Amino acid sequence: MVVFDKPHALTDAPLHYCPGCTHGIIHRLVAEVMDELGIEGKSIGVAPVGCSVMAYNYFGCDMIQAAHGRAPAVATGIKRADPSKVVFTYQGDGDLAAIGTAETVHSAARRENITVIFVNNAIYGMTGGQMAPTTLPGQVTQTSPYGRDVSVAGYPVKVAELLSNVDGAAYIERVAVNNVKNINKAKKAIKKAFQNQIDGKGFSLVEVLSTCPTNWGVTPEKALTWLEENMMPYYPLGVYKDIYAEEETK
Amino acid sequence: MSKSCSILFAGFGGQGVLFAGKFLAYKGLDEGKQVSWLPSYGPEMRGGTANCSVIISDDPIGSPIISEPDILVAMNLPSLDKYESTVKKGGKIIIDSSLIGRKVERDDVEVFYVPATELANKNNTPKLANMIIAGKLMKECDVIAYDHMREALAHVVSARHQDMLEVNLGAIEIGYNA
Amino acid sequence: MAEKVLMKGNEAIAEAAIMAGCRHYFGYPITPQTEVAAYMAKRMPKIEGGVFLQAESEIAAINMVYGVAATGKRVMTSSSSPGISLKSEGISYIAGCDLPALIVNVQRGGPGLGGIQPSQSDYFQATRGSGHGDYHLIVLAPASVQEMASLTFKAFNLADKYRMPTMILADGTMGQMMEPVSLDMGEVETYEKPWALTGTNMEREHNIVNSLSLVPEELEKFNFERFEKYKAIEENEALCEEFMMEDAEICIAAFGIASRVSKNAVIEARKQGIKAGLIRPITLWPFPKKAFAKAADKVKSFISVEMSMGQMIEDVKLATECKKPVTLCNRAGGMIPSPEQVLEAIIEANKGGDK
């Protein structure tokens, strides 16, 4: 008999996320992967500033909370201090792709042997729905009330594409959690990103397209449709870089 | 009586004034003296003027900054122009006369004109004018002795260049006898 | 006693840190402290477990320090004034998470990009907590290359003892000059660190290193507790050197290189029959209040000699409760006061009589 149970690597603390937000799903995937790989006891997670700031309460492994955008630098310190630990960051789009761009790019360039879970929901959630570096052209937010005008606010940052051009990055994949099939794919990618670290393969990042019904101003169900119709065409899913797969096919 | 000597070693970047100053500081340290070595730093080190202040003393050293040196070493004209007036009354100025055309204007200091660059070229060690001047300085500075030079030099000549020890010693000797 | 070697102040800091068990250094080039990074780059790869990493920015460097500090290992960064401004957010986090770490500031003139010559104008930044929120660093101010080493060593012990960041506040002169140093550093103190992120090993509850506290009652409690600790530090760790203070009538307050210049001036003043003395704070926070309070009952006046527009003078006034006049004798922007300038200030103060 299969019992749908909570992964051990998730604590009993009730999640604070809004209804329909997919952070909960992504947390669960990370925790399931920790369970399956048996690494909870030697993992150290880095929580960002943003909606997932309190991720330190939800993951059962040792946790630290980093300043806005600095999670990859903090993870670098931890991993360098003890390479035997499995170190991951869990970051949103404002944290990773705006204020923390330098830390993201340079930790990838150094091929830091860490795992980055990057949750892209095209908006600043915690502060109440402002334009993010990943907000789509024309998308209405609190700070782009007439829609993102690229002539003024510039273009969204495509993190997976960007990092795939960084020599040090080992594995970059973009996934989504909009349906069961994609959730399964997302889990596979996250597992690979952790396995890579265990195998010493270097910087691995999984970009997860996620929803924010509250700040998008739609129902949870509509949010999934919005993600499919707007985000997925702009941010195509797929493996952007996998140096080991490339080596294998050579 | 306790003795103290403050030396300002000045020239172009690349002439080795910091190196020569370091050697003097180590010589003092080897003799059990109190010493300090303070370099100028920043962009002027790359080709502009460079200098270092060395104090060798029997007593603890207060400020390592020298406003009135007992001895000024000037290895180029800008250094002489800048620091001539700062030398203590009754102090000494040592000049590389190969590179500085003019004479010292003051008459209340003792001046030594050493054609260091010329002597260095003649000796086939064109980069060691600094050590020739250092040799002269050792003769004129009564705080440190002219002995155990090899030991003092060994501190500053890097392990990779121990072959340079002999030539440095030779240059110092030329200066001492100049 | 160990043999004395000639070292640059910046190198003495680096070597003493290694002797203190620091195996993790993160930095970013900036004059006039770059020798610390260069020394670490050379030494760390040769030491077991040694990590030297040149970060992409001062901001990244301090956050790498934050990460290592959370694992309980000894860690440091160094920079100069503008770089310390950039690190200040991270320093606030380290203080807010009660983590030990060493930050070295080899000061240069400011504000803005300023210059690269020595300065003491980051006194406020260092002693008031450079980032946001209520916190302190233990701030040590070396006045010789020997102290660059010994106070660095001490700073690591203090950081572990009190679980808080410590700072070496030096300046360009101290960093660049060479003096004889004995590397006889004493004991590395070790402390239990049950709070450290070492992995649960599935044997304990997870440790969380965090400064977020959304319930104000709780955050207030943390602040009160932290300041109880600070009170104990103020009681036990304040350090200063008193020079010719037994019968002094004019008391100079100066730290770092300014105290060296001032010493010369005090000696010269004594030759002229003026009873001058010097109190040199070695810890800037905690400020050696008691020494100044004691002096306030004896001397005619105080002179604060600083390489800034006058920052420590406020602490001198507070410590002496303004019982006696306190004047400022200063240079700024990278200039160093001369012994003559300080002597003039002493002569001037001595004329002041018993006002």
**Domain containing A96 — which CATH number?**
3.40.50.970
CA distance B95 to chain C (A): 25
Mean pLDDT of C250-271: 97
A103 has a pLDDT exceeding 50: yes
pLDDT band at C223 (very low <50, low <70, confident <90, very high): very high
The tens digit of pLDDT for each residue in C45-100 reads 999 999 999 999 999 999 999 999 999 999 999 999 999 999 999 999 999 999 99
Cis check for the bond before C111: say yes or no (omega within 30 of 0).
Answer: yes
CATH topology agreement for domains C4-236 and C241-351: yes
Q: Give, in words, the CATH class of C241-351.
A: alpha beta
Q: Would you give the DSSP letter of residue C135?
A: -
Mean pLDDT, range C325-332, rounded to an integer: 98
Chains touching chain A through at least 3 C-beta pairs below 8 angstroms are: C
Whether the pLDDT of residue C181 is over 80: the answer is yes
Contact: B62, C264; criterion CB under 8 Å: yes
How many domains does one find in chain A? 1
Half-sphere exposure of B159 (CA within 13 A, CB side): 0
Section A93-104 average pLDDT: 98
Q: How far apart are CA B29 and CA B154, in angstroms?
A: 13
| Chain C residue at shortest CA distance from A50 | C212
Q: Which of B35, B67, B155 sits opposite C179 (nearest CB)?
A: B35
- pLDDT of C324 > 80? The answer is yes
d(CA B88, CA B106): 11
pLDDT, tens digit (0-9, with 9 covering 90-100), for C280-314: 999 999 999 999 999 999 999 999 999 999 999 99
Long-range contacts from C110-113, C-beta under 8 angstroms, 24+ separation: C110/C81, C110/C82, C112/C82, C113/C82
Q: Is C335 exposed, middle or buried (0-12, 13-18, 19+ CB in 10 A)?
A: middle
Backbone torsions φ then ψ of A205, nearest 5 degrees = -130, 130
In terms of residue numbers, what domain contains A91? 23-249
Res. C355 pLDDT band, cuts 50 70 90: very low
Whole-number Å distance between alpha carbons of A168 and A203 = 7
Rounding to the nearest 10 degrees, give the CA dihedral for residues C302, C135, C167, C313. Answer: -10
Per-residue pLDDT of A37-72, as tens digits, reads 999 999 999 999 999 999 999 999 999 999 999 999
Q: What is the pLDDT of residue C353?
A: 55
C59: nearest CA partner in chain A: A70
pLDDT of amino acid A3: 77
> Which of C31, C177, C264 is facing B36, going by the closest CB pair?
C177
C68: left (phi over 0), alpha (psi -120 to 50) or beta: alpha
Of A128-142, A146-160, B141-155, C263-277, the poorest mean pLDDT is in: B141-155
A27 within some domain: yes
In chain A, residues with a C-beta closer than 8 Å to the C-beta of C213 are none
CATH topology of domain C4-236: Rossmann fold (3.40.50)
Estimate to the nearest angstrom the gap between the alpha carbon of A222 and the chain centroid.
22
Rg over CA atoms, chain A? 17
Distance from CA of A192 to the nearest CA of C (A): 21
Q: Which of A63, A73, A103 sits opposite C206 (nearest CB)?
A: A63
User: Can you list the domains of chain B with their CATH numbers?
Assistant: 4-177 (3.40.920.10)
Tell me chain B's radius of gyration from C-alpha atoms.
15
pLDDT, tens only, B37-82: 999 886 655 557 799 999 999 999 989 999 999 999 999 999 999 9
**Helix ranges (DSSP H) in chain B:** 17-30, 77-83, 116-122, 129-140, 149-156, 164-177
Instruction: Delimit the domains of chain C by residue range.
Output: 4-236, 241-351
pLDDT tens digits, B127-139: 999 999 999 999 9
Q: What is the largest CA-CA distance in chain B?
A: 45
B abuts A (3+ Cβ pairs < 8 Å): no
A28-64: buried (b, 16+ CB within 10 Å) or exposed (e) per residue?
Answer: bbbbbbbbebebbbbbbbbbbbbbbbbbbbbbbbbbb
CA A110, A115, A121, A124 dihedral sign is negative
Q: What share of chain B is helix, strand, coil (3-state, %, to 5)?
A: 40, 20, 35
Facing residue for C200 by CB, picked from A61, A64, A74? A61
